[in-house]
Structure 1
Amino acid sequence: MNIGLIGPGDIGSVIVRKLRDAGYPLKMANPRGPESLKALAAKTGAIPVILEQVVQDVDMLFIVVPQKSIPELPKGLSNKAKKETIVIDVGNYYPFRDGRIDEIENGLTESVWVERQIGRPVVKVLNTIPSKALMAAGRPAGSRDRVALPISGDNPTAKETVAQLIDRIGFDSVDAGTIAESWRQQPGSPVYCTNPTKEKLRLWLKKVDRSSLAANREKGLKAYYPTRDADYQAQIEAHRSVLINE
């Protein structure tokens, strides 16, 4: 399976490393151009290309940019990919970074907003795990403490393909429903950056209170900020301290 990735920044560069370690052919791009990706290319073997090339002839396309940057991507870019290409939305909405997006503030699910911006359906995954945890917390299949990640989308076949990829990079997964229901894995949810097992993930997805997401997102951000330079366990515990109520 050939993969393209837009936005190899903090979390995106870790996704590149994990996918390359799992043996996936991968090309990557950002708005600054291939020269800015030479160091990451040297470390991983991923191929740096321009944005117009990263979507071509790929089976899966990861979009890993801040919400505010989605409308700034070249118009129609994702539609230059094959019709069957699975588009992955890894983003999260944070008003302090992205500015106010009225549609989301008024209740539109974040990934539905992304779909409307790019003109294609997406699968939502990998938005619920910090970059340090993604790099270090993977475990072999069957491990008792294996972290599980929610996957949301409207195409069951696409979600199954994504689940197989997630397994290959060291994580379990749980089908979290349709893309309209992917608010359950947005910032402020108890499944966000708390590294649940599959059993806990299934339980916590049922307990998400949509009306509290925005307030809990800000609580989680405030708890996380002092741990931003700490190890991933400290970051996870910071989120759990304000998002989990068992």
Structure 2
Amino acid sequence: MTTHSPSLQASPDQTAPSAPETLHVAVVGAGRVGTAVARSLLDAGYRVSLSASGDPALLALMAEIVTPGAEPKWTGDAVSDADLVILALPLHRLHTVDPALLHGRIVVDAMNYWPPVDGTIPAFAAETRGSSVVVQEMFPGAVVVKTFNHTGYHSLEPDRRPAGHPERLGLAVAGDNSEAVALVSAMVDRIGYDPVPVTSLAVTTFMQPGGPAFGSRLTAAQLEDLAGVPASAA
């Protein structure tokens, strides 16, 4: 049984699910980022579905080896009963995701815009407020939260630490909806990072390629300083 609320809308006063320990998370994208996130979530005790562009039967063998415990599914099936959706696919493939699938969902944007890989995508190339602003515009019925994108996929798992550990690092969690940010922050905390809530998608350039937080292994306090907006570790 999931805690997803089918009436969840992209509005400032919406109510997000409040039991992160019971979440079913759908990870869309089975590349290096998606599988690293999926393994971290599985290790933290979450139920995880994994989808890619192809038949889940073909994904199953890879998942058995790379993300044991994740459930390979078609994207539509994975999202339909998930409480939280994580987008971890190349941005040039984002247009293949039907906006209707994500309507009413809290969606984590773990992606970055990479012109050498994605080519020139005018909407992302012209956006000065952050690529997640464009993602939110592409999926107006969803509530977008940005995190996971500013740490390397190769660092995400080995850098995890229990709460209070002197080497515990931070992860920025940005969004326009405080309830959604709080839910995703609880998930980030559980997998082994100090979440740093940031109050707006429009100030997330510091987390992106070329920004001071991108690729850096930073504490929550250091991330708060870089955010330049009211933020605090959870």
TM-score normalised over the length of structure 1: 0.78
Contact 1:141 1:172 in 2 (8 A): yes
User: Which residue does the alignment assign to 1:190?
Assistant: 212
Contact 1:4 1:61 in 2 (8 A): yes
- For 1:68-107, what aligned pairs fall within 5 Å after superposition? 68-74=92-98, 76-79=100-103, 83=104, 85-107=105-127
User: Which residue does the alignment assign to 1:163?
Assistant: 185
Matched, 1:50 2:50: no
2-structure distance, mates of 1:13, 1:187: 21
2-structure distance, mates of 1:97, 1:110: 15
User: Which residue does the alignment assign to 1:236?
Assistant: none
Q: Percent identity?
A: 30
Matched, 1:12 2:30: no
The residue type paired with residue 72 of structure 1 is T
2-structure distance, mates of 1:125, 1:145: 20
What is the SS of the residue equivalent to 1:122?
strand
What is the SS of the residue equivalent to 1:158?
helix
The residue type paired with residue 124 of structure 2 is I
Contact 2:86 2:110 in 1 (8 A): yes
Residues 159 and 182 (structure 1 numbering): CA distance in 2 closer, same or farther, change over 3 Å? Answer: same
Contact 1:6 1:51 in 2 (8 A): yes
Partner deviation per Cα, 1:15-70 (whole Å, 9 max, x = no partner): 11111111101111111120232134324211111121011121100010111111
- For 1:197-236, what aligned pairs fall within 5 Å after superposition? 197-206=219-228
User: Which residue does the alignment assign to 2:162?
Assistant: 140
What's the offset of the Cα at 1:75? 5.0
What's the offset of the Cα at 1:8? 1.7
The residue type paired with residue 50 of structure 2 is M
Aligned equivalent of 1:175, options 194, 197, 200? 197
Q: Which has the higher helix share?
A: 1
2-structure distance, mates of 1:206, 1:139: 26
Residues 2 and 137 (structure 1 numbering): CA distance in 2 closer, same or farther, change over 3 Å? Answer: same
In structure 1, runs of 5+ residues without a counterpart are: 208-246
Of the two, which has the highest radius of gyration?
Answer: 1
2-structure distance, mates of 1:141, 1:58: 27
1-structure distance, mates of 2:70, 2:132: 27
Contact 1:190 1:205 in 2 (8 A): no
1-structure distance, mates of 2:97, 2:29: 11
